[in-house]
Structure 1
Amino acid sequence: MSDDGVGLFGRLKDKLVESKKRWAQDGRLLTGAPDPRRAQRLPPGQRLVATWPVLDLGIQPDIPLNVWRITVDGLVENPTVWKWGEFTDEAMVRRTSDIHCVTAWSRYDNEWEGMSARHLLSVVRPRPEAQHVIFHSYDTYTTNVPLADFDAADVLLAVKWNGAPIAREHGGPVRVVIPKLYFWKSAKWIKRIEFSQHDKPGFWEVRGYHNYGDPWLEQRYDDE
């Protein structure tokens, strides 16, 4: 696999990317609903589904467990690289949460198992100046969240979904799960977690999507 991503991005589904960029330009799916401040479980503009739709950039990297690695670096006291067995030997937790996708579907009661973000933070120990977390994926995708949102009780690096290993098309062997934000922030095929003093907008954030992505505020697209 090429870390520079030139070969991978050359094979992206350009039509999908351009289509979603137009969604941002046109404000598609915005309802104009008032801010409900999470008074309801289903965010505005969303529809409930029973399946788990597959959405990606046209690439589903196949990462053998014997070569899988995750690197945690940047502004941390203890930069860490885990191999698969080392990662799964760490403390694992179970969490149940909902998925809210920016393409207007939501799925309730997903059962996850994996390493909690708070356990990861206790291992790597971010420096005081670290304010942002940047996720890097094996398909060269990136996305960004504030450290304060990563440091939440329901955030984890999931290895299982509903009792089974997370399938490749859904981001296995390990994906991020951040329930309070639109699901594009929950990066699939995670390979690196970078702690930074400065924000670094990722793949969709520089293509017209909101930098934060709160579903209950309908922060689908950049409003600037």
Structure 2
Amino acid sequence: MRQRVLLLLFSLAFLLWLPMLAVAEGMLPAPSGKVLLTISGDIDFPNVDGEASFDREMLMAIAPTEIRTRTPWHSDCARYEGPLFREVLAAAGVHSDRVRVRALNDYEAEIPLAELHDYDVILAMSRNGSPIQIREFGPLFVLYPFDEHPELLNESVRFRSVWHVVHIHAP
């Protein structure tokens, strides 16, 4: 009985580890859940129809990061979790020096990749431990560490802090 439990636990750990290994090796697996994000353009690792598609599980396997910050749109300090934006782009093999981020309502903003390397910007997926719903800026929200870097509290960065993110294009 104990061997069965150990085998089951080992198998489960392996299945959870496999997608992370594939991303680390540059082989992006196909999403098994609902696609939250699609990356198109100049990418090395497409997984669905020439684009890189990610479900929630895939995104959370890429450099999960926590930021505690206030935002220009929330009065309280909150704990946000999600993958580092630059690592999501690396998982797709983006080569561009900038990306265009598009929201559900077709709002778009251009973000220079240098900025994503200067700051630990995340694609926030949860706020205070709960998934961010569409009515609350979700399912993905480009979030800068505002409290750690007050210089980010400016109009340009606010325009690049896209919420309801669904698509990224690397020209």
Q: Tell me the equivalent position of 1:72.
A: 39
Which of residues 159, 163, 184 in structure 1 aligns to 2:129?
163
Which of residues 183, 188, 195 in structure 1 aligns to 2:170?
195
| Structure 1 CA distance for aligned equivalents of residues 92 and 65 of structure 2 | 18
Using the size of structure 1 for normalisation, the TM-score is 0.48
Q: Tell me the equivalent position of 1:96.
A: 68
What is the Cα deviation at residue 166 of structure 1? 1.4
What is the Cα deviation at residue 107 of structure 1? 4.1
Matched, 1:119 2:87: yes
Paired residues in the alignment total 125
| Structure 2 CA distance for aligned equivalents of residues 121 and 152 of structure 1 | 15
Aligned CA-pair RMSD: 2.4
Judge conservation of contact 1:118–1:153 (CA < 8 Å) in 2: no
Structure 1 residues 117-150: Cα deviation after superposition (integer angstroms, max 9, x where no partner): 13213312322xx221110112211111211112
| Structure 2 CA distance for aligned equivalents of residues 68 and 121 of structure 1 | 16
Give the aligned residue type for 1:78.
F
| Structure 2 CA distance for aligned equivalents of residues 89 and 173 of structure 1 | 16
Q: Per residue, is there more strand in 1 or in 2?
A: 2
Using the size of structure 2 for normalisation, the TM-score is 0.61
Segments of 4+ in structure 1 off by > 6 A? none
Give the aligned residue type for 1:97.
T
Q: Per residue, is there more helix in 1 or in 2?
A: 2
| Structure 2 CA distance for aligned equivalents of residues 111 and 147 of structure 1 | 24
| Structure 1 CA distance for aligned equivalents of residues 45 and 59 of structure 2 | 15
What is the Cα deviation at residue 67 of structure 1? 4.1
In the alignment, structure 2 segments of 5+ residues that lack a partner are 1-32, 47-51, 147-151
What is the Cα deviation at residue 161 of structure 1? 1.2
